[in-house]
Structure 1
Amino acid sequence: MIKLIGILIVVIGFILKIDTLFTVLLAGVATGIVAGLDFNQIFTILGDSFVSNRGVSLFILTLPVIGVLERYGLKQRAVSLIEKLKRLTTGKVLTIYMIARQIAGALSIRMSGHPQFVRPLVNPMAQAAGLSNSDELKESDEEAIKALSAASENYGNFYGQNLFAGSSGVLLIASTLTQFGYNVTGLNIVKASTIMAVIALVVATIQFTLYDKKLNKSHKK
């Protein structure tokens, strides 16, 4: 039980609101000591763990960057771009983004969707496109466009992530089916996923187009 002292240290540290990084490091060192490791082994493990997981922290670094860009006019520039393209509608903007999302998935390009693209770019562009036939959007329209913007991200990500044969999801599905006696490869999974991705794109395009018609109809009234 003494080897679980690290958990106790973490709990106490959080209760006392001690610096999180210090608390975690202290818990790791304490756990290593009671497990019989010397300091060289402990810090080697900590270093290896940091290096192998350093990519996780890169996502956090993008958030303040997006915040600064928003502060200095990212949304305004996105809106200005859409206003220059008069033929673009909300549905077309969201369809284009969903296609881009699926292509990114097929090429195994990481996109951190909602915080990096949907909130600062896709939603403002979709809102601006919605103003192409009206001077002002109702609050209900704004909320609906927000929801559809998030939906385009979710559709594209969910149905596009298995379009790359080397993705973790495809490999997991293939290995699991193989264990149960099914003779499948990653390419087989990609082929099946491609069919579903196309169907999802068609259905989403219909949904976005119907919303365009609904929006136009409400403003004509």
Structure 2
Amino acid sequence: MLVLLGILVVVAGFVARINPLLVILAAALVTGICAAIVPGVSLADLYQAAVATLTAFGDAFNDNRYFHVVWLILPVIGLLERAGLQERARMLIGKVKAASAGRLLVVYLFIRQATSALGLTSLGGHPQMVRPLVAPMAEGAAEVEAGGALPDDARNRIRSMSAATDNIGLFFGEDIFIAIGSIILMVGFLEQAGIIVEPLQLSVWAIPTAIAAFIVHGFRLLMFDREVRRRIAAPKAEAGQ
């Protein structure tokens, strides 16, 4: 029962609002040491138990080190933004005269759905794609149409629609890939209910839904250009009055 002291450490640490990583590490050490407590145990044995616990942490980190590479994305994106990535994205899209916020997001929706259908769900996303590239490019396209800076409500609306487009593209595209977690979950659920289906069957039936989602949201994005124009024109009309 002594190993349950680790749970008390977790509860006490969260109540005291201590750094969660430190709390979990302390709880693991307490659990590992308590597990070694037996009649006749010595301090040397407890020390060895603590070392073995820390060794297990190190081995787990080393064995799964490739999964931690994704954390490098955040500092890399921060450095790119500091170097002017968003401004460059605006300048690039500003040179395309036929571009608009809605048309640009339609293209991104197609790319996001297509790559998600192939299992490449990490190619997009809010921190690594929408914030540094997609949203600034959509804002740049709208600024070209507006002939100047955008009002805050139009800019915020473009950013929110950019994030929503990424969500929709991922949500309706990933189910086409047979090895995604949602497909495996549905296969297991149906199997428990006595319905045996292959992952490929569910993936095939996800294609019409993805196409319908692309058509519906693509139409919304084309209509979104009109909304942006109205938001741009409203402050000008008020200033004219």
TM-score for the superposition, normalised by structure 2: 0.80
Structure 1: gaps spanning 5 or more residues: none
Q: Structure 2 CA distance, aligned partners of 1:172 and 1:52? A: 26
1:119 CA drift (Å) = 1.0
Alignment of 1:52-201 (within 5 A): 54=65, 57-109=68-120, 110-111=122-123, 113-135=125-147, 136-201=149-214
- Aligned-partner SS, 2:77: helix
- Aligned-partner SS, 1:164: coil
Counting aligned pairs with the same residue, the percent is: 36
* Distance change in 2, residues 1:162/1:4 (3 Å): same
Are the equivalent residues in 1 in contact too, given 2:130–2:162 (CA < 8 A)?
yes
How much is the aligned-residue C-alpha RMSD, in angstroms? 2.6
Q: Structure 2 CA distance, aligned partners of 1:213 and 1:65? A: 35
- Once structures 1 and 2 are overlaid, which stretch shifts more, 105-114 or 49-58? 49-58
In structure 2, the partner of 1:33 is 33
- Aligned-partner SS, 1:85: coil
Are the equivalent residues in 2 in contact too, given 1:94–1:208 (CA < 8 A)?
yes
Q: Structure 2 CA distance, aligned partners of 1:163 and 1:20? A: 37
Structure 2: gaps spanning 5 or more residues: 38-47
- Once structures 1 and 2 are overlaid, which stretch shifts more, 185-194 or 59-68? 59-68
In structure 2, the partner of 1:202 is 215
Structure of higher CA gyration radius: 2
- Aligned-partner SS, 2:24: helix
Are the equivalent residues in 2 in contact too, given 1:133–1:219 (CA < 8 A)?
no
Q: What is the one-letter code of the residue matched to 1:46?
A: F
1:10 CA drift (Å) = 3.7
- Once structures 1 and 2 are overlaid, which stretch shifts more, 30-39 or 116-125? 30-39
Q: Deviations over 1:44-92 (max 9, x none)?
A: 5434543465455433321121111101100011111101111111111
Q: Structure 2 CA distance, aligned partners of 1:149 and 1:19? A: 34
- Aligned-partner SS, 1:25: helix
In structure 1, the partner of 2:41 is none
Q: Structure 2 CA distance, aligned partners of 1:23 and 1:156? A: 38
1:201 CA drift (Å) = 0.6
Q: What is the one-letter code of the residue matched to 1:178?
A: E
- Aligned-partner SS, 2:178: coil
Q: What is the one-letter code of the residue matched to 1:108?
A: G
TM-score for the superposition, normalised by structure 1: 0.87
Q: Structure 2 CA distance, aligned partners of 1:111 and 1:5? A: 42
